[in-house]
Structure 1
């Protein structure tokens, strides 16, 4: 098992990397979660992208969103793992690497995310705390969470 990751600005992504990350996001957020929404939201170009590969296959991903683009804080978004590796700790690995990437890119900082409410306990275990009210995003309950830097 060869696990590797990379963090790249949008302009550094290869065509294959971009295709793979958009496909993974569509497989999970559109098809699996049966959610019709426009995933390409004109934020990707301003973000860094964390790609987690297992034996050269993309199995996890998140995007690192600079402060001021989605929230006043730096954010982690579009957190996703491939169905083939669910329940094996890859989601936690993506988040741990995402938090590390935020700190490497922006120094000590607060990190915000919009969590699907079913994953509240998962994000709490990584040091995030719920903030505000539950809201509906594309038919799925979410809540904002913050990890203080």
Structure 2
């Protein structure tokens, strides 16, 4: 997989369109969840996109700790329908964690995970820090990974 890791300003309009289209396809259409997908946070995110050939296969966005968040975080984790079941999700999470821990020297990473993926995220060292809760009609759990634990 070919990885592109870019700030919002570095994304071409074509790359941004493809990312937003994939996010709407997965989080709004497939999950039948009407919510504000374009949430105003993309400008401060680091965008991690994995391509197979010229097709977007996997994507997530990363955030550094800030006044709004105690830990670095990974969000909008997706694998496009065509590439599910091909280990793209594992490659994406490895790339995202490495980017935060190696490139940006972050010691802790938080995710707001869909609960059905609990075991998947635990395999990367994430541990729950909340009870299961409903968000946009989908069960979620907050999880944190601390480097070296």
Residue 43 of structure 1 contacts residue 69 of structure 1 at CA under 8 Å; is this kept in 2? Answer: no
Instruction: Name segments (4+ residues, structure 1) moved above 6 Å.
Output: none
Corresponding residue pairs, total: 147
**1:52 pairs with one of 42, 50, 53:** 50
Matched with 1:20 is 18
- Residue 112 of structure 1: SS of its match in structure 2? strand
* RMSD of aligned alpha carbons: 1.1
Residue 30 of structure 1 contacts residue 37 of structure 1 at CA under 8 Å; is this kept in 2? Answer: yes
Offset from partner CA, 1:99-122 (integer Å, 9 cap, x none): 011123420410000000000000
Matched with 1:37 is 35
Shift in Å, 1:40: 1.2
Offset from partner CA, 1:43-93 (integer Å, 9 cap, x none): 110010001000111010000011126521000000000111111100111
TM-score using structure 1 length: 0.95
Q: Which runs of 5+ in 2 are unaligned?
A: none
Offset from partner CA, 1:7-49 (integer Å, 9 cap, x none): 0000000000000000000000000000000011111100100
Cα distance in 2 between the residues matched to 1:64 and 1:107: 13
- Residue 97 of structure 1: SS of its match in structure 2? helix
Cα distance in 1 between the residues matched to 2:125 and 2:74: 13
- Within a 5 Å distance, the mapping from 1:1-149 to structure 2 comes to 3-68=1-66, 71-149=69-147
Q: Which runs of 5+ in 1 are unaligned?
A: none
